[in-house]
Amino acid sequence: MGRLRRSRTHRAQRDVHRASRTRARTKDLDQIQLIDLDPKNRAKLEAQALDFEKPGLAQHYCVECAKYFETDSALTSHWRSKVHKRRCKQLKEPAYTIEEAERAAGLGREGKRTSGAANGAHNELGAETRVMMEVEVSESN
């Protein structure tokens, strides 16, 4: 009779996987759209100074994918890859705005009056009812 398998034998590997996921995190699409694809910033990113800490001395950079490459041939082959083409297709779609996110969460003002118009209407209505109530009170006395 062999040894019985214990449960939860891979307990410590969860933290290793989580650390590797956060370490390999790239820029989000909205950051790339709003900041990196601006013509001024794009020119700076494509012509960076030598940096000994980055791959390829920071000379081979894909702006759309926010990724450094070792050689120019690796960068050109990356430009022909499906990964790069998919990222370019995603970047063509407009980024979500804060208002769209609030509407998706159910916090938007869809079909409601704006706060200024609602307050203005409420104040006018309140003034009219106050005048009518004062008139009724003075007539009853």
13 domain-assigned:
no
pTM of the predicted model as reported, rounded to 2 decimal places: 0.57
The CATH number of whichever domain residue 32 belongs to comes to 3.30.160
Residue range(s) defining the domain that contains residue 75:
19-95
Domains identified in the chain, total number: 2
| Whole-number pLDDT of residue 26 | 81
Indicate whether 48 and 83 sit together in one domain: yes
In sequence order, the 6+-apart residues with CB closer than 8 A to the CB of 74 are 56, 60
CA dihedral 9, 10, 15, 19 (to 10 degrees): 160
**What percentage of residues in the chain have a pLDDT greater than 70?**
59
68 domain-assigned:
yes
44-76 pLDDT tens trace: 999 999 999 999 999 999 999 999 999 999 999
4 domain-assigned:
no
Indicate whether 62 and 122 sit together in one domain: no
27 domain-assigned:
yes
Indicate whether 62 and 35 sit together in one domain: yes
In sequence order, the 6+-apart residues with CB closer than 8 A to the CB of 87 are 64, 65
User: Hunting for tokens 């804060």 — which residue is that?
Assistant: 98
103-126 pLDDT tens trace: 888 876 665 555 555 455 455 555
Rounded to whole angstroms, the Cα distance separating 96 from 34 reads: 11
122-133 pLDDT tens trace: 555 556 666 666
Give residue 110's identity as a one-letter amino acid code: E
Indicate whether 34 and 79 sit together in one domain: yes
Indicate whether 76 and 136 sit together in one domain: no
Indicate whether 27 and 67 sit together in one domain: yes
Q: Which two tokens stand for residue 24?
A: 């390999």
Indicate whether 72 and 127 sit together in one domain: no
7 domain-assigned:
no
Strand-pair partners of 61: 68
How many of the other CB atoms lie within 10 Å of CB of 111?
Answer: 5
Indicate whether 121 and 53 sit together in one domain: no
Q: Which two tokens stand for residue 46?
A: 């494509």
DSSP at 134: H
101 domain-assigned:
no
16 has pLDDT over 70: no
Across the chain, mean pLDDT equals 79
| Whole-number pLDDT of residue 99 | 87
Rounded to whole angstroms, the Cα distance separating 120 from 19 reads: 54
40 domain-assigned:
yes
